[in-house]
Structure 1
Amino acid sequence: MLNIQAVAQTKPVYKNAKAPIDKRVSDLLSRMTLPEKIGQLNTLLGWPMYEKNGTNVGPSAEFKKAITEQHIGMLWGTLRADPWTKKTLENGLDPYMAAKATNAMQRWAMENSRLGIPVFLAEEAPHGHMAIGTTVFPTAIGQSSTWDDALIQEMATTIGKEARLQGAHIGYGPILDLARELRWSRVEETYGEDPYLNGTMGVAVVKGFQGNNINSGTNIISTLKHYTAYGVPEGGHNGGFVTLGQRALLQDYLPPFERAVKAGALSVMTAYNSIDGIPCSSNSYLLNDVLRKQWGFNGFVVSDLNSISGLSGSDKVAADDIEAAAQSFNAGLDNDLGGNVFGKSLLKAINDGSVSMARVDEAVGRILRLKFEMGLFDNPYVDADKAKRQVRTKEAIALARRVADESIILLKNDKQLLPLNKSIKNIAVVGPNADNMYNQLGDYTAPQQESNIITLLQGIKQKVPSATIRYVKGCAIRDTTQDEIAQAVEAAMKSDVVVVALGGSSARDFKTSYLATGAAVVNASMSDMESGEGYDRESLDMMGRQLQLLQALAKTGKPIVLVLIEGRPLNINWAAANIPAIVMGWYPGQEGGNALADVLFGDYNPAGRLPISIPVSVGQLPVYYGHQNSVRHDYVEGSTKPLYTFGYGLSYTTFQYANPQAQTSTVNGQLSITVSFDIKNTGNKDGDEVAQLYVKDDVSSVVVPNRLLKGFKRVHLKAGEQKRITLTLSAADLSLIDKNYQRVAEKGGFTFLIGGNAEQPQLTAKYTLEQTVYVKN
């Protein structure tokens, strides 16, 4: 007779869904061989791991080899499609096929590995899951231009759901690098120049991705990028050397990561760069002292692609990959993205005693714990039919339009040229970004069905179907051989208004060559791509014949609206001086054309605000609002001030601030300062205002920034309506890093600056901190 109790007793603890996770992890670790453990520490490229034959999809021979020979525990970009991966709409996977593929891979791994360990699938998710058939939102620089963290959390929830329904578990994002070097190619992937805004947006994405339960079936693990200070490389060279003092690191570059970690982020990715000569991928101070001991991080740390190899390559701080493996692993890096070093080289480092088995079990345990918490050992599969129904829904598309609407910034509007009247009869739509769908989507975007994307030209046609629209491309972004300027002028002369779309492009193509990291190789026979990973600039001028086109159109005397579609601030000095209306769209995503038309024709009152300053000249760089208190004077050639400053943006209405008040209280033993003020819509149109609160330390023990954003709120006001706004500050918001590198709010005077941008506050309020407060990490 079968002894059921005896059978139950022989079942491994790690397979018992009711056992505590700590015991399941410990039990599984005790059963694993060293090669099996090393397999969990490596993440291989995922897109070669499936085979698609018509309507059938399953694991590839390469996947089976990776499981049986390398015991691989994680893949990256399995569902990714783009020119680098050579996955297209034809040979890639739609959501239904993606779910079938990941199910088949998990089933093979569970049934054909000795211990039945599920595979983690990590995916790129900066402005939508980078896979075929998903929703494409504005890039991060546009997301932060909304100054609406609740909306961005809603967006991240949708991105996480779309990824998880297809079988993914980890989303790479948010990117928390401060973009203070505008020549750098990846500005579009950031939330801009300010620590507070970056941190707020980062927290929103973490909460949206992870939710309250990563075992929900609709949430994914958030991986913070790139830890840290990746966005300020010398000369703008992507992944290059960073010159940074310890105080600046603690004051500006670490706080966004700290806030995201304390919001619950479960994964962190190290940056390619070094700081003060120590590569981020082998920096024990960053990975152990700060991340884990100070902030209490309990997830796993993954390298950026091939960054561990950089220790013995470009950085030359290790003699070979064995030494590189030991350096990075002992410093606290848990997983090798690319899997080039934490395989044989790490095994050799373990065997020669450079790495302890205790450290191996620690790193493996961190990854296994999350697999258990996500429920993958008990149910690693997803519902393909649900993926087909619930990815890129009407609700998700509407949300993409809403994010795009809120992201658009009105930079200039002389004589109220905008909004345009819908009764207008003749419109010229001109420019290389007027009808190029990939130019409005940004880097890290999968191939798209044309019907999924609304360009500016299409958006205008839908908005005013009775108008005569004359479209001429005019020129390319970079290619000077394309010249339709004469045709554009002719179209303008026959029109009542000209909408010209210029800027940049991060659109990859199949002619471009790529490095092993996925960054593009810049060469003379390049496409029109001038932004996106690998496309660092020495100038910020608009490329090709774009300025020539704009100047020729201006000579017609017709009213001109300039729409900027780009990934980083470009030189628009001439336009700011000569063009009556300028709208910043960044890369607005799949609904960008509809959103831009909403703003141009007044169906949406723009309220986007700059998350990054627009310089007058590349010679001003770095130019950001929160510069250190110091002597600053104009150059021989011009001002030190940017053309448009952080926080700037116009509206079709006007707002007035009044009655500031600051009150102090103690909440649970902690200092709390409430700052209140009135905002009134003094115009005749309903609209949103972004109230911004900056803190200035009047006298400090060390040199500090001249002012820093410490609170904001986007508020909707009907014409004539007034609301009382309250923002709450803590001691941390008044703090600095003192001479002993301690975070402290020093007693003394502070000035609160309140208004619609960093440069011109409408209100000021004085505040005195009566006693010094030391702020705990």
Structure 2
Amino acid sequence: MIRRLYILTIMQLVCMQGFSRASSPQFAYKDSNLSIDIRVTDLLSRMTLEEKVGQLLCPLGWDMYEIRGNEVFPSDKFKQLIKNKKAGMLWATYRADPWTKKTLANGLNPELAAKAGNALQKYVIENTRLGIPMFLAEEAPHGHMAIGATVFPTGIGMAATWSPDLIKEVGQVIAEEVRSQGGHISYGPVLDLSRDPRWSRVEETFGEDPILSGTLGVAMVEGLTKGDISQKNSTIATLKHFLAYAVPEGGQNGNQALVGVRELHESFLPPFKKAIDAGALSVMTSYNSIDGIPCTANSYLLSQLLRNEWKFRGFVVSDLYSIEGIHESHRTASSVSEAATQAISAGVDIDLGGDAYVNVCQAVREGRLSESVVDTAVYRVLRLKFEMGLFENPYVDPELATKKVRSKENIELARRVAQASVTLLENKHSILPLRKDINRVAVIGPNADNRYNMLGDYTAPQESDNVRTVLDGITSKLHSSRVEYVRGCAIRDTIVDEIKQAVEAVSRSEVVIVVVGGSSARDFKTTYKETGAAMTTKGSIISDMECGEGFDRATLSLLGRQQELLKALKKTGKPLIVVYIEGRPLEKNWASEYADALLTAYYPGQEGGNAIADVLFGDYNPSGRLPISVPRSVGQIPVYYNKKLPQCHNYVEMSAAPLYPFGYGLSYTTFEYSDLQITQNASYCFEISFKVKNTGKYDGEEVAQLYIRDEYASIVQPMKQLKRFERFYLEKGEEKQITFVLTEDDLSIVNQNMRRVVETGTFKIMIGASSDDIRLTECICME
């Protein structure tokens, strides 16, 4: 298709140049009055092979600038990169973290970031033969990973809101903050379906369900792209990771995924398809293999499916050094050069890292690769540069960046999203919300006052007053004289032992709020792989980090002395409120039984402490719902709600059911469901309506969920499958009618011939407050 378009536009270009040569000395690709196809074709025709391959390189960007006072300049390393490799893209130029060794002292604040982007663009435009502007790609899964940017809850926390509206707002803010600093491509959202909480990157995902993930993915993409990347403050959204990356064998990051082709089409592919249809123009490959084929060399996924069937018109980027991984990890290529040829032939357009595709020129010259393959990849990249308007507007206003990044409105949004994500799991005897006239509160735990443990992975260094901890939030509700804090213990390090002091503090208090869990906070003592994944090396000082890329778990229990701390606090007899800050669903069996109240706040971001305090003291009625099941034991894994029939039977030692199911979450009020009505409007269209009434004492938000089950089908089906959901607010005593519409796609299955069809038969419609709390049921028949 691109080859035919190339020939046609060349012919148009020849005719046009013959007509206008006398009146315009300007190259056609620089003429904004011409169509993008003509401009791309003209530019491509002028490029050498080396210049073409340069457009496909995306090297690491944080060493490409130098700060001198209040100005930023291209570094000598950048100048050599442009001279030798002619790179057309950079990754993580503004990134700051212990891996990059960029700190608050030597990194880029928003103003300097904008100046850096301008300086790099100016150098490339003025010091290269064709003056092609650069793409700057930035990590942005839960906020731009740059100093000064707004930090939202990580993906699993955002998913707990079950609110597409909120997630779209988050996308809009991320895009504005990235673009105002000179970036163009946002890496995110992460649409991997998480079915194994041992895996280190659960925190980045939207959970275990394809409908929830796809719906929130669409919302994020709509926010990031504004529906059109030519719009001001829009970014190119990069979907991660293609494909089935979150279900590695043994829970180990990058291991093979044992997933059948039908399951890929039923569950893992739909979220990506929805997000692409919503405007995502970039897809990132994953480190794993499927059925013996590395995903970065899988021509079926990257060419046949994406391009031919889905008509995806954006570009595919490798995960960092995943092309080298074809040779070094998977060993299906005998050299990096062969791996590069496999990747670009399979449909990978961009080499993230930029060290593999430098071999492409030689492969073309030796006849191992057709130059037309390179042309196709370059065409995709150049087209988006023109669509984004970079040839006309490559620069940004540094003063504007300081105003837009982490604005008051953005911080308020971070708080609203964190509030909506907090999930109440237990509230025995309605101990919550707490009275604000309470005499004294003990705030205990390793996550009670640790700023970085609130934030999750892919977060830049923070000034201390940017982040609100749980202790900060509670002291904003109560005078500090009524709050006593003791750390108690560390997340992992057993040397830290302040349990005795914690018990003493509790003895002087009416209630204890203990904040435990995990951490993805990187530090300068952690060792990192070249891909940026952390390594679990042993040392004299044990960091808190037990989650985040590279930190896979063999168990899900609390580490260090945290369980010892909980048991000691329980023995005091004081009411015990337990809050988990976590990147994966940790085991909560003890807390479920013995805590008077139990909440999870995931990694709630910079406003998390305020949001948690809002919930604890009743300024916000909790409304988060689990986007992933909480297991009782690692022996149950996988324990996701929509497993295929037959229904699981119990183990000898315990129930087969999760401790807390998908979609679960309590409120301070109660909701009653009634009056289910189903109307068939067309052959495959059903309107389903019902009423929900707030029957409790508080105003609050409910998340109504619609599940279906195909009772008898030619292919084994899930026990139940989410199809629709809606989050809505009801004042106490208020009633609302909710209406969902089911379509042909909702009732279809992937049959034995791998085609989506609707079969005749009976479907059970289930309406409820969670996957395990069904309030209304009725059957429909397809004839």
Where on the TM-score scale, by shorter chain, does this alignment land: which range? over 0.9
Counterpart of 1:83, as a letter, is: P
Counterpart of 1:456, as a letter, is: V
In structure 2, C-alpha distance between the alignment counterparts of 1:395 and 1:545, rounded to whole Å? 39
User: In the alignment, which residue of structure 2 is the partner of 1:435?
Assistant: 449
Q: Pick from 408, 432, 453 the counterpart of residue 418 of structure 1.
A: 432
In structure 1, C-alpha distance between the alignment counterparts of 2:154 and 2:340, rounded to whole Å? 34
Corresponding position: 1:361 with 2:411: no
Query: What secondary structure is seen at the aligned counterpart in 1 of 2:322?
Result: coil
Corresponding position: 1:563 with 2:576: no
Corresponding position: 1:469 with 2:469: no
Deviations 1:331-351 (A, max 9, x none): 1111100011101x2112212
User: In the alignment, which residue of structure 1 is the partner of 2:467?
Assistant: 453
In structure 2, C-alpha distance between the alignment counterparts of 1:334 and 1:211, rounded to whole Å? 24
Q: Pick from 753, 758, 764 the counterpart of residue 740 of structure 1.
A: 753
User: In the alignment, which residue of structure 2 is the partner of 1:547?
Assistant: 563
In structure 2, C-alpha distance between the alignment counterparts of 1:351 and 1:323, rounded to whole Å? 14
Q: Give the CA deviation at 1:100.
A: 0.6
| Residues 425, 467 of structure 1: 8 Å contact kept | no
Q: How does 1:287-366 map to 2 (within 5 A)?
A: 287-343=302-358, 345-366=359-380
User: In the alignment, which residue of structure 2 is the partner of 1:99?
Assistant: 114
Query: What secondary structure is seen at the aligned counterpart in 2 of 1:762?
Result: strand
Q: Give the CA deviation at 1:747.
A: 1.5
Q: How does 1:194-213 map to 2 (within 5 A)?
A: 194-213=209-228
In structure 2, C-alpha distance between the alignment counterparts of 1:470 and 1:480, rounded to whole Å? 23
Q: Give the CA deviation at 1:380.
A: 0.3
In structure 2, C-alpha distance between the alignment counterparts of 1:6 and 1:598, rounded to whole Å? 68
User: In the alignment, which residue of structure 1 is the partner of 2:230?
Assistant: 215
Q: Give the CA deviation at 1:354.
A: 2.0
User: In the alignment, which residue of structure 1 is the partner of 2:85?
Assistant: 70
| Residues 230, 388 of structure 2: 8 Å contact kept | yes
Q: Is the deviation greater in 461-470 or in 111-120?
A: 461-470
Corresponding position: 1:686 with 2:699: yes
TM-score by length of 1: 0.97
Query: What secondary structure is seen at the aligned counterpart in 1 of 2:689?
Result: strand
In structure 2, C-alpha distance between the alignment counterparts of 1:389 and 1:675, rounded to whole Å? 46
Corresponding position: 1:280 with 2:295: yes
User: In the alignment, which residue of structure 2 is the partner of 1:492?
Assistant: 506
Query: What secondary structure is seen at the aligned counterpart in 2 of 1:45?
Result: coil
User: In the alignment, which residue of structure 1 is the partner of 2:599?
Assistant: 583
How many pairs does the alignment contain? 763
In structure 2, C-alpha distance between the alignment counterparts of 1:769 and 1:384, rounded to whole Å? 60
In structure 1, C-alpha distance between the alignment counterparts of 2:770 and 2:25, rounded to whole Å? 66
In structure 1, C-alpha distance between the alignment counterparts of 2:22 and 2:151, rounded to whole Å? 50
In structure 2, C-alpha distance between the alignment counterparts of 1:242 and 1:699, rounded to whole Å? 29
Deviations 1:305-337 (A, max 9, x none): 000111111101111112111111111111100
Deviations 1:485-531 (A, max 9, x none): 00000000000000000000000000111001000011122411000
Q: Give the CA deviation at 1:67.
A: 1.2
Gaps of 5+ in 2: 1-18
In structure 1, C-alpha distance between the alignment counterparts of 2:20 and 2:319, rounded to whole Å? 48
Q: Is the deviation greater in 192-201 or in 521-530?
A: 521-530
In structure 2, relative to structure 1, the CA distance for the partners of 1:180 and 1:472 (3 Å cut) is: same
Q: Is the deviation greater in 4-13 or in 694-703?
A: 4-13
In structure 1, C-alpha distance between the alignment counterparts of 2:265 and 2:366, rounded to whole Å? 36
User: In the alignment, which residue of structure 2 is the partner of 1:594?
Assistant: 610
| Residues 627, 705 of structure 1: 8 Å contact kept | yes
In structure 1, C-alpha distance between the alignment counterparts of 2:428 and 2:23, rounded to whole Å? 78
Query: What secondary structure is seen at the aligned counterpart in 1 of 2:375?
Result: helix
Counterpart of 1:601, as a letter, is: F
Deviations 1:691-736 (A, max 9, x none): 0000110100011111110000001000000000001111111111
Q: Give the CA deviation at 1:352.
A: 1.9
In structure 2, C-alpha distance between the alignment counterparts of 1:175 and 1:528, rounded to whole Å? 24
| Residues 165, 217 of structure 1: 8 Å contact kept | no
Q: Give the CA deviation at 1:465.
A: 2.2
In structure 1, C-alpha distance between the alignment counterparts of 2:764 and 2:729, rounded to whole Å? 27
| Residues 193, 213 of structure 2: 8 Å contact kept | yes
Q: Give the CA deviation at 1:353.
A: 1.7
Query: What secondary structure is seen at the aligned counterpart in 2 of 1:677?
Result: strand
Poorly superposed stretches of 4+, deviation over 3 Å:
4-8
Counterpart of 1:710, as a letter, is: K
| Residues 97, 384 of structure 1: 8 Å contact kept | yes
Query: What secondary structure is seen at the aligned counterpart in 2 of 1:518?
Result: coil
| Residues 427, 467 of structure 1: 8 Å contact kept | no
User: In the alignment, which residue of structure 1 is the partner of 2:780?
Assistant: 767
Query: What secondary structure is seen at the aligned counterpart in 1 of 2:203?
Result: helix
In structure 1, C-alpha distance between the alignment counterparts of 2:400 and 2:337, rounded to whole Å? 45
Q: Pick from 499, 502, 511 the counterpart of residue 525 of structure 2.
A: 511
Corresponding position: 1:264 with 2:279: yes
In structure 1, C-alpha distance between the alignment counterparts of 2:480 and 2:307, rounded to whole Å? 61
| Residues 709, 717 of structure 2: 8 Å contact kept | no
Deviations 1:642-699 (A, max 9, x none): 0000000000000010111122224xxx832211100000001100000000011010
Corresponding position: 1:401 with 2:415: yes
Counterpart of 2:515, as a letter, is: A
In structure 2, C-alpha distance between the alignment counterparts of 1:5 and 1:32, rounded to whole Å? 22
TM-score by length of 2: 0.96
Q: How does 1:6-155 map to 2 (within 5 A)?
A: 8-155=23-170
Gaps of 5+ in 1: 771-777
Counterpart of 1:765, as a letter, is: E
Query: What secondary structure is seen at the aligned counterpart in 1 of 2:630?
Result: coil
In structure 2, C-alpha distance between the alignment counterparts of 1:673 and 1:402, rounded to whole Å? 34
